[in-house]
Amino acid sequence: MFNFFIKKLEIINTIETMAITAQEVNKLRQMTGAGMMDCKKALVESEGDFDKAIEILRKKGQKVSASRADRETSEGSVFIQTNDDQTTAVLIALGCETDFVAKNEDFQKLGNEILNVAFDARPESADALKALKSGDLTIAEKLTELIGKIGEKIEIVALEVLDGEKIIPYIHAGSKLGVLVSLKNTNGSDVSDAGRDIAMQIAAMSPVAVDKDGVDTTIIERELKIGREQAIEEGKPEKIIEKIAEGKLNRFYKDNTLLNQNFVKDSSMTVAKYLDSVSKGLTVETFRRISVG
């Protein structure tokens, strides 16, 4: 016990004798974005060596990151960038634990920084994106630094890279939901307004595919099974059960595939008919809908 107090006194004396100035603390804070107390502690521990202090702060971030690895990122923001002619678009979703952090200036700044790197490099996955560099650090290291500073789990939860004839981006209010819709057969027409209408439709109605041909077979089998079971429960004759199931599947297509849905702004027509009325042959090639939380 006596040795413990001696050691504690030695630490206190070391801290007191270390001439760490406010200017030095502020300089490290500007370099790393870490809190003032964390910067002061790192400078004291490194005996004023800035490189060592930066390494200490990074290790702190790694420890925080490891301790929060099992946390859920139920909040966050979506970031989108397109090229000038809107033939290429990149969407990333950056997740965090709380809405407070999602609105944090440093979180938003890092999200845009990651987006710029992704747009230039067009990586195939979030893991590939994290291995890329922004300045002297990789994106993974940038994430770790911010985790250490903020104290929450932060991760890239989605990455979408899309090419098309005309890509219209849409971010819903609150930046928690983003849509990319790729239109084709534009015939040189200005389809920006129509594209935005469709992107908003996708945001609101969450279709599973562009058309029925794009619906996954497992979903089709599930819907047919549900239709058969409902028909049996209702006591329908066995010879028409399959026909009833097919009818329910067609209803599913109408409600859940984009081109077959009723257009939200005018329910007298489907999305397909609305697009064709804007420009003959105009349609949707593909879309992406990403949300956080």
pLDDT tens-digit map of 17-63: 457 787 777 776 766 666 667 777 777 777 777 777 766 666 666 55
| pTM for this entry | 0.77
Contact 29, 51 (CB under 8 A): no
Contact 164, 199 (CB under 8 A): no
Distinct helix (H) and strand (E) counts, the chain? 12, 10
Q: Reduce the DSSP state of residue 80 to 3 states and report it.
A: strand
Tell me what pLDDT residue 208 has: 96
Q: Reduce the DSSP state of residue 16 to 3 states and report it.
A: helix
Q: Reduce the DSSP state of residue 57 to 3 states and report it.
A: helix
Q: Reduce the DSSP state of residue 257 to 3 states and report it.
A: strand
pLDDT tens-digit map of 119-147: 999 999 999 999 999 998 999 999 988 98
pLDDT tens-digit map of 200-258: 999 999 999 999 999 999 999 999 999 999 999 988 898 999 999 999 999 999 999 99
Separation of CA 112 from chain center: 12
Kindly list the distances between the CA atom of residue 11 and the CA atoms of 7, 48, 54, 85, 223, in Å, as whole numbers in the listed order: 6, 15, 21, 61, 68
CA–CA distance, 97 with 155 (Å, rounded to integer): 10
Q: What domains, with CATH codes, occur in the chain?
A: 2-67 (1.10.8.10), 71-163 (3.30.479.20)
Q: Quote the DSSP letter at residue 19.
A: -
